[in-house]
Amino acid sequence: MKKLKRLLFTFVLLAILVLVAVLAYNAIKFSSKQVKIDPAPDLPLNENITSRLTQAIQIPTISYDTHIDTAAFVAFNQYLDSLFPVITTQLDTHTINGFSRIYKWHGQNTTLKPILLMAHIDVVPVEADTREAWTTDPFSGKIIDGHIYGRGAIDDKLSLVGMLEAIELLVAEEYFPNRTVYLAFGHDEEVGGTNGAVAIVEYFKNQNIQFEYILDEGSLVTEGNMPGLDRPLGLIGIAEKGMVTLTLTARTDGGHSSMPPAQTAIGALSKAIATLEANPMPATFAGPTQLMLDHAGPETDFLMKMVLANTWLFGGILKSELGKKNTGNAVIRTTTAVTMIDGGIKDNVLPKHATAKVNFRIHPKNTIEDVVNYVKKTVNDDRITIEIDPTPQNPSKISDHKSFGFQVIQRTLQETFTDVVVAPSLVVAATDSRHFRDVADNTYRFMPIQLNNEELKGIHGTNERISVENYKQAIRFYYRLIKNSCQ
């Protein structure tokens, strides 16, 4: 018996040693995918470089769900023409649906496919009850403690004006691109892009234009968001999630509240909502998320590297930990968000129906049909009907992380940001670029700025702001990107 116990102990010990050896070997084999790139020569920018962005912020080009202030958009485009006179004279300008803009900078080699840099003119409203929480007026463009404040300081006038500043600098140097460069600025991105981006795409299709790559807003350089990584992480979006909103309606008999059934329409709807929230769609590392882990993982400390190199063993734990944070959860699954609810007319009347809007951001592994089927199966209640709201969108296709476009964006990112780790990523929000699938094989989503978690809260939130130095980095990035793409 003792001999058997010793044999069993030896076997378990050997098994543990083998397991540890395999884990360590996989971690060691988990080699870096970073490219060695030297920093670009410094591009001096004077302090006045901020003036055109601050003035752009002062024009409230707000998109509302039902309308826009047309006067503000007319004023904005007039502003661009007056303050970027070199661009107006050197580049072809085309206006789409009154407010969206296309610029064309002719390249010398017409055999090369052009590139497209995108941004959008419109911004989201500022809720009335949050204005007092702002450090300064949301449309002041004021610089406070080295930061430019206001709607659009990040999303997305920073990109728009930064691109134009970079081209102004290049034209002043008498630079002529070898490849044609297009700029496209939609005016209704924040409400879906129907009159802006969609119409711009139709223009390009009618012109039979296919792009080498497209770059739009999206991911950025983050700090402290990946365990075990003590360097900035530059994420280049190679895909974005889809979106569908489902209307769930519970129907029951009405009547007087003094004689209620075991569950009212509101109760049935509440049960369905609680069930959906308690049972999210399955998590996955497939696609862009796995690529992000593969590229960033080798740069982490050894313990984290061991975890990421052995997801066959630690995958469940890793998904569980990522799922505890909103940002982590968003990149590993199709997310469920109950955003609106309505039911009842009086406190002593049983409602005959109650409705809820549930917004799903669809992971590239899933489709709209997958979401609907999952909700039906999960809710499993004949009293609940499910309808798809208008304009659902499947996830974008996944762009190639080994293409010319990705490589030139990666190179430019490493040239302009210090000691940054670069990785492909999944963009969890929607951008105008989702409409451009017919005019380019590869579309990327990246904003050339570095934000901490506190600054990230300003996007669509209170005190949206960007540091002056960050803005200068964005200009340097676009300046280098055009040169790198058009050699």
To 5 degrees, how large is the angle CA 98–CA 104–CA 459? 65
Considering only CA atoms, which of 212, 91, 121 is closest in space to residue 432?
121
- 3-state SS, 265-282, equals HHHHHHHHHHHHHHCCCC
Structure token pair of residue 37: 């790139």
Report the distance separating Cα 264 and Cα 463, nearest Å. Answer: 42
Q: Exactly one of 189, 212, 217, 299 is catalytic; which is it? A: 189
Report the distance separating Cα 352 and Cα 465, nearest Å. Answer: 47
Report the distance separating Cα 475 and Cα 482, nearest Å. Answer: 11
Report the distance separating Cα 143 and Cα 472, nearest Å. Answer: 14
Report the distance separating Cα 1 and Cα 7, nearest Å. Answer: 10
The answer to whether the beta carbons of residues 223 and 452 sit under 8 Å apart is yes
Peptide bond into 156 cis (omega under 30): yes
Structure token pair of residue 245: 């909103």
Neighbouring residues of 127: CB distance < 8 A, sequence distance ≥ 6: none
The answer to whether the beta carbons of residues 77 and 101 sit under 8 Å apart is yes
Annotated catalytic, 189? yes
Neighbouring residues of 480: CB distance < 8 A, sequence distance ≥ 6: 40, 43, 412, 415, 416
Annotated catalytic, 92? no
Q: Exactly one of 122, 168, 188, 455 is catalytic; which is it? A: 122
Sign of CA dihedral 251, 254, 257, 262: negative
The answer to whether the beta carbons of residues 230 and 436 sit under 8 Å apart is no
| Catalytic residue positions, numbered | 122, 189
